[in-house]
Structure 1
């Protein structure tokens, strides 16, 4: 978890980045911003850091060649943390790099904030960090002011909503040999071109820890049950829901995943287990995220994945049946007289 209650802004620089494809340019500041207003500093801290309180995924800076030092953001951050690059020059280089990465015509220009932070807390440890934030969307705000026994009404046309950070990242000065710990926010990543923030500018990939292993496993297993079993097994929807429910129960009850145990308790079929292992290996190779035969289970990842595990039988547009367990209490049949399928449900009490 990320906490910023005790964090402070050491230095702040603001630049502007245009869209290279639209013949816009970047505008560099000559010097950092001097923050003397305590309220303004608190508002900035809220704007920059509060969105990261709900972030669970930790990324790493990397380069496709395998040499992390070739990643521009890693190179600049390492030089700054090591005292080889001044804060002003850090902001200049980051701004120029973002400009070069803004190579799609739909990417919006905006203000770029580069911040040196102290005393941010991640996973129980306190560190310094570099924050990079971009504001792309502006809003109009009304301003009401008292004047001579009445009120005056005005507005700010191009204002920034401090509750809506568009894009941001925090490079935590921890584990530099692994590509640092990096947190990422991208609230406007709704179109393909918006992926430039993570891919082209930052160059990050998810850290393969318990949270991501748990989430990735549940994601792959859900896809396997919904799609990968159809060619070999003729399963009813209720059977698939049962397989999903059993896997969710397993991950809720256990502290660690064990492959042999999961195959026996959840899949319960050697052929299905073999198919799933092949399906899983394809994911591991494609995304370079090995899961292994044993890993600690993250309860946060389980909670997040549960929202994607559908346990509902949708029958035409008339009924929804929510199935939480006991597959043997559901029977499916066909009524020849009505020419319709039916489900028979068994229960002890009605609530």
Structure 2
């Protein structure tokens, strides 16, 4: 709503408490489960993918799993808060802030303030905790710049904890339904992963089903992504967007299916490893060593010596067990560059 600039923190806080804000109450949407029925296909994402006939294969499979998993909204809660210092020299702005993407953010600041990008210098020697929450310019940087321009002096601004949760990005909640059909020997014949998440109008989904398209074999498969509109802070990158909640649900489902099949969880995954893209079998992986990784990990961590029956080992009141999970990060391929300069005196500078 506003920012108060003062000589000291105590003065600014006291003055800010004198600002009265009138709010009008309106009905909002905050519950993903309640908004689920109205969720739609996201515009900029491959919402539905698949191969073969999932529904027929799942109906015919002798062993099936149909389970729903949920994850809550997550706040970054990094120890280092969003904080900025802004100083103007004429039309040129220097902004010391905690930011992961310097060039992107220079452009964003310039656009927001209506000045040339060449007039923005963004300095971020120490990011602290970022994890995606500091990919973009937030309110602290813009308000510090506006305040500094107004008073003609450098201004320092730090978001308090409640404002970090409410005014920066977070990982949206998800609802995920996973269905797996398999033969008695553990060969997956049908695989389905549906996911729902929410965001502000114009936002994007939590891509929780993306990894399921590539990790395990299965000739008949489907994934579906749906997006609801919720009146919550912006949903965006947080420690691997989509992968974290998606891999969690997928790997729990694989463990539960292995138990239904009376198969070792590692052996079940190995039997369904693939050297080709399951949705596009004509596309082979250039290198994929999941099976070797699983076997090596099992050997190093004494997997064969564990008690395999779930909930069979206790340490006092605690249940104790050994588990495993696979994971991968599917990322973008893009051009990168570096600049190397040999300076007088033999010093080499490398910029990336």
The answer to which structure has the higher helix fraction is 1
With the length of structure 1 as denominator, give the TM-score of the two structures. Answer: 0.23
> Higher relative CO (CA 8 A, sep ≥ 6), structure 1 or 2?
2
With the length of structure 2 as denominator, give the TM-score of the two structures. Answer: 0.23
